[in-house]
Amino acid sequence: MTPRFLMTDPAWFDVSYSINPWMRPDAWATHRKTEAIAASAALRRALESCGALVEMVPAVEGLPDLVFPANAAVVLDGRALLARFRHPERQGEEAPFRAAFERLADWGLISEIVELPAGLTHEGAGDGLWDETRQLFWTGHGPRSHRAASDVIGQVFGRPVVPLELATEAYYHLDTCFRPLSGGEVLYYPPAFTAAGLAAIEAHVAPADRIIATDEDAQAFCVNAVCLDRTVIMARAPERLAQRLTARGYALAEVDLDPFILSGGAAFCMTLRLDLASQPVLALQK
């Protein structure tokens, strides 16, 4: 199946408020808009060079973080569980993202749109990462998403869920500090997790498959990566991380995403994969 992603036109992206420690409106300047548009286009080219198709969400004035569609929904097997945002600054994104999914449904790219139960917040694939190797969801909770939303994900998609509690506002979504790779490895940043969260990771991931991100790797937003087959698309990587990944047989496609890192996001945040599919349950039982 051809990989298919959702991205957002960055025409109205800026850093005008702060809802995470990375967001620095004082560091934003007019010239950054031009840089952001170029960076988004470069990320799209990197995806397309790997054979992916990209669907675009129109920009909306006043919604600068609409450029991070990973937070729009959890998507698997054609079903989309729509997000509900914690912060008022992002709650306006819910309507345009819903409209985008309704268009995708009209085009046959989404088969069902599902709502979260009232009273729960969950910020999409940012806190709900599908692990193809283990056929389960890793879910983050604490800073943005409710723990109970993890149970809803399990119910909606009929797949196991491993909830991971996040320990710090700096790594406010799971996708900023945890990335399953296509070969079964997991790249993650231990200081972002509580002791219970780390224990859950270690219970499900063999030591040989654990790739520990350093402070430098995490701060460069390289854990916030897209993995397509044996290519990892990420922000510019520290040399040591690049060497570790290439030693495991991965090719790196590095993109200068500095304008978006000023808002606390990078390659994974800026995309939402639409074609993820689980294996049949009977096949898993053999």
Which amino acids are annotated catalytic? 173, 269
Report angle CA 201, 83, 89 to the nearest 5 degrees. 110
Amino acid at 144: R
| Alpha-carbon radius of gyration of the chain | 17
Find, among 215, 214, 178, the residue nearest to 197 by Cα.
178
Q: What is the DSSP string of 168-230?
A: -GGG-SGGGTEEE-TTS-EEE-GGGB-HHHHHHHHHHS-GGGEEEPPHHHHHTT-SS-EEETT
SS3 263: coil
What contacts 86, CB < 8 A, 6 or more positions away?
121, 123, 144, 145
